[in-house]
Amino acid sequence: RKEVEQDPGPFNVPEGATVAFNCTYSNSASQSFFWYRQDCRKEPKLLMSVYSSGNEDGRFTAQLNRASQYISLLIRDSKLSDSATYLCVRGNAGNMLTFGGGTRLMVKP
């Protein structure tokens, strides 16, 4: 089983839509979780950390379910500029990051 698994997509949505991505991980000892976004051939950029209580940053909401080893990202009111690949990432105790393969989002006008 892959350590961090994501649906590769692509998710094609119109502007203004709400879209949700899911991610599962296999290592129950994982310490920390993040969503990064990556534009084509660019570096990963932090979108948000993911906390057990769930957290929100503007149009973005992240949820973590440790019992099910499941993480989600919800994007409300999608913008054209949200088009990117969204990377689900977990960190271990040594802070090594393990990346999922990413979910590609395309927001259309």
Which 3-state string (H, E, C) describes 24-38? EECCCCCCEEEEEEE
Show the binding pattern over residues 35-74: x = contacts other proteins (CB under 8 A), - = does not: ---x--xxxxxx--x-------------------------
Decide if 78 contacts 16 (C-beta within 8 A).
Answer: yes
User: Rg of the Cα trace of the chain?
Assistant: 13
CB neighbourhood size of 53 (10 A)? 7
Q: Which is nearer to other proteins, 21 or 78 (CB)?
A: 21
Q: Which is nearer to other proteins, 75 or 87 (CB)?
A: 87
Selection from 66, 97, 75, 64 nearest residue 19 by Cα: 75
Q: In whole angstroms, how close is the CB of 97 to other proteins at the nearest point?
A: 6
The answer to the question of residue 26 lying near other proteins (CB under 8 A) is no
The answer to the question of residue 101 lying near other proteins (CB under 8 A) is yes
The answer to the question of residue 97 lying near other proteins (CB under 8 A) is yes
Count residues contacting other proteins (CB under 8 A)? 22
What is the C-alpha separation between 101 and 6, in angstroms, rounded?
Answer: 6
Q: Which residues bind other proteins (CB under 8 A)?
A: 31-32, 34, 38, 41-46, 49, 87, 91, 94-102
